[in-house]
Structure 1
Amino acid sequence: MSTRALICYLDEDNVLTSTYNHYDGYDSGVGAALRAHYNEDSKAKEIANVGYISSLSPDTGEWDANNSRAPITTKIDRKTFAEQLYELANDCWASYVFIWDKSLSVWVTIKVNEFSDMYADLIEHNLQEKEVVTAVAER
């Protein structure tokens, strides 16, 4: 069984670049690998620009891919970031989203569950402006 994830880099122009990861996308899998091996801005940007990863080793940081895909780039509006991210994650059935926070040099882990939880997580990490957001149909 696969736990899918998105590995994302948000730049200063609010462009989100994301790579799809197919296996072991939970926090102790992909999240651990990112924190251990991709914990600098240049490395975070590099991994987010791969496009497609089958699996990412928490032990070595090495990845393999049995498919090829360009990374997804999305212009983010900080007022509707949660909506945009929720739709992007659901489009590829991601259970987790990992976003490199350039200002703090840390990976932010967002569990894709209920939209309201994702919105609260983004607010907590100052990635979403506090606004009344429109409802998004949850799957």
Structure 2
Amino acid sequence: MSTRSLICKEQQDGTYYGIYCHSDGYLTYNGAMLLDHYSTPERVDALIALGDISSLGPIIAPDPSRPHSFDYDKRQDGVVVAYGRDRGEKDIDARTISLEEAKESWCEYMYVFGKDGKWRYYDLCRDDPELCDVEEDLASEFRQMGIARPNGIYGYFPPEQVAAIKKEQAQMSKSQSEM
């Protein structure tokens, strides 16, 4: 089952303009990916210009010299998979999205790139969602796991992966303290 999300940019008038993303909408994937790879208005605009997407990746445009399509076995690693570009779907354009519409959309999260250049989000599963800071809540989530946020790793962190990361971070910390 997918964790659906909306990815939006706050407009000058305070409205949200954005797209739907079908997969991995949770904080430790889409939230972290947006924070790390979509930190400028230009990058956010380029992402939103694709229209609705199936999955988010750090790379917006595929390498034109290699095949890339919606089919799982024909996707380029790390490239955003877009319904329009990669599957030829219509009616997938970005649109203005209100919080009320978002709450009725079956999406779990709504990410908003603010006018101040910061990523925030609404947890749409809450009865009265509030705008929260992606970076702060991501750090908090990893603190609760007992680890520092690992660079370049996105997704769900099962207990065995958390244990391995914890061990690796402890070894790195020990090595640094011995220097």
CA contact 2:23–2:54 (8 Å) conserved in 1? yes
CA distance in structure 2 between the aligned counterparts of 1:2 and 1:65, rounded to whole angstroms: 16
**Higher RCO (C-alpha under 8 Å, 6+ residues apart):** 1
Q: Runs of 5+ in structure 1 lacking a partner?
A: 75-83, 126-139
Percentage identity across paired residues of the two chains: 32
Q: CA deviation at 1:58?
A: 5.8
Q: CA deviation at 1:108?
A: 0.3
Partner of 1:71: 94
Higher helix share: 2
Q: CA RMSD in A?
A: 2.3
**Structure ID, larger Rg:** 2
> Against the structure 1 CA distance between its residues 61 and 16, is the aligned structure 2 distance closer, same or farther, given a 3 Å change threshold?
farther
Higher strand share: 1
Q: CA deviation at 1:46?
A: 2.4
Residues matched between the structures, number: 110
CA contact 1:36–1:61 (8 Å) conserved in 2? no
CA distance in structure 2 between the aligned counterparts of 1:71 and 1:35, rounded to whole angstroms: 20
Task: Please list the CA deviations of residues 49-79 of structure 1 after superposition, one character each: whole Å capped at 9, or x if unmatched.
Answer: 32211001369763102453011224xxxxx
TM-score scaled by length of structure 2: 0.54
CA contact 1:21–1:53 (8 Å) conserved in 2? yes
- Residue 98 (str. 1) matches residue 121 (str. 2): no
